Chains A and B, each alone.
Chain A
């Protein structure tokens, strides 16, 4: 490339471009032009009245090709710089955009949310920690917090332990049987939470005893002579009915990941333990579980975070009626239904703070394992 640029005869006006400074300036123009073209096409697409499909198509092409061109162009510019600067700058070229995007779409909104959580419903006047007082004192909120705790303990506990159990047990089946069992358990994973809620609302549906039951579970219960059970209305069981859906959805996910970890444990290790006289329980608790502990931790953390954010099942099934409220659903209702962005922001911050220690703990144990 340098040969290319140096070709013009020396002494002419063009030779200025081949000097260090000129080269850098020329190279700087390239990404700027690319950016300008991208920006212009963005402005054009924003204002045009063209068919939406065409706009989407153009956006796709301009977006993909444009971002790629921006990278090549900027890289071309960095190539022209002296060696040391070049090496110092290049990492930022590749990490920079990701950092900027995260900053704009994650850090900035997070700070904005924390800021708004100290303001009133319409984000107009500062009211101190009143929104947090609401989050931890209001009787409806206390129920929501209690339910979130219930969800976390039950869903995480169930999915991880059952997932692990299944992973270990199917490992002993023939290949065909293992595939069949795993596919069945994994299948709910492919269903959206909203879809699952619709399925389960038919499972839980109850009709008066005088009418035929159209809900699966109550048809079975009354078939055996029982009374119809109000799964979603009875305060003693409705939370568990909702939690069961999440467990049904997530067990397959835990099983698949834990299964691959179980398969990664060398057979020799387990054989050696058995030869040394360990029974199956000892093999499981003393050999298998410790050797896949990192995976168990990762899976538990993931499930924990998913469950903490639980929203869709509750929103679709009960919308928090009959003491089934959870924090995320309340946050949604506060913002969109009640128009109280102060309460909603405070609840968002509460959820964020609840995740932070888990992420920190997870990162630390990851680092410990590495060293």
Chain B
């Protein structure tokens, strides 16, 4: 009896526990069951049928949660993004949860490949998104024909389309990278003019040095991603010194034999251009050492104090300062303003380098579709636009949301002769997040250019 009893107690205990758990189960089931059942049918049996014509009033998805996983963690940025969902959440009752990680490109790999993907993931790099194309839902089956074409210019859709025709992403926030930031007050005080050509930019830099000022600040330290600040420079200069075809063959060659090597004269020249600025100790605030060691999100600070005069950064730059300077204003009369990074060779017009977030869907549930559809509308980023840091890639954007400052950025984008996406985000990971970044760090450290470029070429995956 004694030896038998513990076992029966255990069985009793277990059944009690199960009974206790069973009590909570019915409550969970009703929301559970339709979620599980519907998407499978919706995608496999009637792919062409749009499912977005739900009656808006009665909130069929109230109480459901949709998770979005993304790469941005800056508090002000996250708040603006989450705020964009408030009206949507009130209208539909869907709880949208954003989760950001600075190690996004690593974590998204573990999550998708481990079978635990977020409902929606926001990629800053379309190249990375395409790596997980097999797990992503084909969005051409989610939206009715023509809907995406109505919301976006074709070039945005093309960037999220796989060679086999599947559309695996939609664009949400866009940024313009071809900007140089400065303090209008500092410029006015010294009587500097905005340069419109490369020669003028260099002349202005020399003038600043002669005036005892430091023209540039380009801090690059970004943890595991250190180097991207410099690669943005290279891409912008590439667009200004060589043809778009060359740029495309450099970033995403149509065939392996078309690839424009890093060691080619065109690319090497772009590195030499950036070297003429960033390797010049007189030109850069804190010298090469600060370029290598200072955190990138401090870029704007010396501009405000006049310790440095100019910084080439994307349209998101003021957002980094909001935590320390919540009252910061951007514009011709604000604390900071920007000018278009001037063209170098008139033959190539006025090109613009862009970036942006592209969202993939991994779990096909009706409420996830609703959230994704909302992301295809400019309304979803209204607060981000009004915060002055982002541009809408959507066609239905209300121009009144832009203030004077970022309307100018939107105009730069609209007036561009060529628009190209950040090249390192398009290249294979080995290069785009590997040797291109580390090669940039080596170059700024003063190493010979040729071996660096050869090493980058060697790391380009063969297949």
Residues on A with C-beta less than 8 A from B289 are: 206-208, 228, 230
Are B109 and A339 in contact, CB atoms less than 8 angstroms apart?
A: yes
Total chain B interface residues with beta-carbon distance under 8 A: 49
Instruction: Let me know if A69 is at the binding interface, CB within 8 A.
Output: yes
Is A40 engaged at the interface, CB distance under 8 Å to the other chain? yes
A306 vs chain B, min Cβ distance (A):
23
- Among the listed stretches B20-28, B233-241, B366-374, B409-417, which one makes contact with chain A, having 4 or more residues with CB under 8 Å of it? B20-28
The DSSP consensus for interface residues of chain B is helix
For B11, the chain A residues whose CB sits under 8 A away are 33-34, 37, 69
- Among the 9-residue stretches B1-9, B260-268, B331-339, the one with 4 or more Cβ atoms under 8 Å from chain A is B1-9
Name the B residues within 8 Å of A138 (CB-CB): 458
Nearest Cβ distance between residue A69 and chain B, in whole angstroms? 4
A76 / chain B contacts, CB cutoff of 8 Å: 3-4, 7
Indicate if B290 sits at the interface (CB-CB under 8 A). Answer: yes
- Shortest beta-carbon distance, B272 to chain A, in Å? 22
Given A41-B18, A120-B463: A49 touches B28 (CB 8 Å cut-off): yes
How many angstroms from the CA of A142 to the CA of B34 in the assembled complex?
55
Complex contacts, A335 vs chain B, CB 8 Å = 109
Q: How far is the CB of B96 from chain A (nearest CB, A)?
A: 17
B86 CB–A CB distance under 8 Å: no
Interface residue? B398 (CB, 8 A)? no
Interface: B293 (CB within 8 A) = yes
Closest A residue to B226 by CB, please name it. A321
Inter-chain contacts of B24 with A (CB < 8 A) = 48, 50, 54
Given A205-B293, A206-B293, A315-B224, answer yes or no on A50-B28 (Cβ-Cβ < 8 Å). Answer: yes
Nearest residue in B to A339 (C-beta to C-beta)?
Answer: B131
Cβ of B275 under 8 Å from chain A: no
CA distance A118 to B397 in the complex (A): 51
Among candidates B18, B428, B429, residue contacting A40 with C-beta atoms closer than 8 Å: B18
Give the complex CA separation of A75 and B400 in angstroms. Answer: 76
CB pair A337 B286 closer than 8 Å: no
Residues of A with C-beta under 8 A to B14: 34, 37, 41, 62, 65-66, 69
Contact present for B429 and A337 (CB under 8 Å): yes
Residues of A within 8 A of B226 (CB): 319, 321
**Residue A233, interface by CB 8 Å:** yes
Q: Given the interface contacts A233-B445, A333-B434, A338-B430, does A37 sit within 8 Å of B18 by beta carbon? A: yes
Q: Which of A59-73 contact B (CB under 8 A)?
A: 61-62, 65-66, 68-69, 72-73
Residues 72-107 (chain A) with a chain B CB within 8 angstroms: 72-73, 76
Q: With both chains docked as a complex, state the minimum distance between the C-beta of A339 and any C-beta of chain B, in angstroms.
A: 5
Quick check: is B148 within 8 A (CB to CB) of the other chain?
Answer: no
Taking a contact as CB atoms closer than 8 A, the residue among B21, B31, B106 that contacts A336 in the complex is B106
Residue among A37, A138, A208, A320 with the highest chain B CB neighbour number at 10 A: A208
Q: Which of A317-371 contact B (CB under 8 A)?
A: 319-322, 332-333, 335-340
A44 touching B21 in the complex, CB below 8 Å, given contacts A49-B28, A207-B286, A337-B429: yes
Inter-subunit contact B17/A62 (CB<8 Å): yes
Cα distance A190–B435 when bound, in Å?
A: 35
Return chain B residues, CB-CB under 8 Å to A65.
10, 13-14
Measured CB to CB, the closest approach of chain B to A221, in angstroms, equals: 14
* Binary contact track B215-230/A, C-beta < 8 Å → 1, others 0: 0000000011011000
Instruction: Please measure, in the bound complex, the distance between the C-alpha atom of A359 and the C-alpha atom of B181, giving whole angstroms.
Output: 58
Q: Determine the distance from Cα of A34 to Cα of B445 in the docked complex, in whole angstroms.
A: 65
- The verdict on A279 contacting chain B, using a C-beta distance below 8 Å, is no
Q: Which residue of B lies closest to A332 (CB)?
A: B106
| CB of A267 within 8 Å of the partner chain | no
B429 touching A338 by the CB < 8 A rule? yes
Cα distance A338–B429 when bound, in Å? 5
Q: Does B75 contact A (CB under 8 A)?
A: no
The answer to whether A184 has its CB under 8 Å from any CB of chain B is no
Residues 31 to 87 of chain B near chain A (Cβ within 8 Å): 31-32
Q: Mark B421-434, 1 if CB is under 8 A from A, else 0.
A: 00000001110011
* Contact partners of B223 in chain A: CB under 8 A: 319
B290 contacts which of A58, A61, A207 (Cβ < 8 Å)? A207
A340-B461 in contact (CB<8A): yes
A203 lies within 8 A of chain B by Cβ: no
Query: Which residues between 129 and 158 of chain A lie within 8 Å of chain B, taking CB atoms?
Result: 138-140
State A159–B459 Cα separation when bound (angstroms): 36
B445 touches A30 (CB 8 A): no
Q: How far is the CA of A205 from the CA of B221 in the complex (A)?
A: 12
Decide if A68 touches B32 in the complex (CB within 8 Å). Answer: no
Q: Is the CB of A4 within 8 A of B445?
A: no
A9 interfacial by beta-carbon distance below 8 Å:
no
**Residue numbers in B under 8 Å from A61 (CB-CB):** 17
CA distance A30 to B14 in the complex (A): 13
CA distance A40 to B1 in the complex (A): 28
B110 on the A face (CB < 8 A):
yes
**Shortest Cβ distance from B328 into chain A, in angstroms?**
24
With a CB–CB cut-off of 8 A, which chain A residues contact B224?
A: 315, 319
A275 proximal to B (CB < 8 A): no
Residue numbers in A under 8 Å from B109 (CB-CB): 335-337, 339
Residue of A nearest to B287 (CB): A208
Please name 19 pairs of A and B residues whose Cβ atoms are closer than 8 Å in the assembled complex, sorted by A.
A1-B1, A4-B1, A40-B18, A41-B18, A44-B21, A50-B21, A50-B25, A61-B17, A62-B17, A69-B7, A69-B10, A72-B6, A76-B3, A121-B463, A208-B287, A208-B289, A211-B286, A319-B223, A321-B437
Chain B residues at the A interface, C-beta cutoff of 8 Å:
1, 3-4, 6-7, 10-11, 13-15, 17-18, 21, 24-25, 28, 31-32, 105-106, 109-110, 131, 223-224, 226-227, 286-287, 289-290, 292-293, 428-430, 433-435, 437-438, 441-442, 445, 455, 458-459, 461, 463
The list of the 4 closest CB pairs from A to B, nearest first, reads: A69-B10, A49-B28, A338-B429, A336-B106
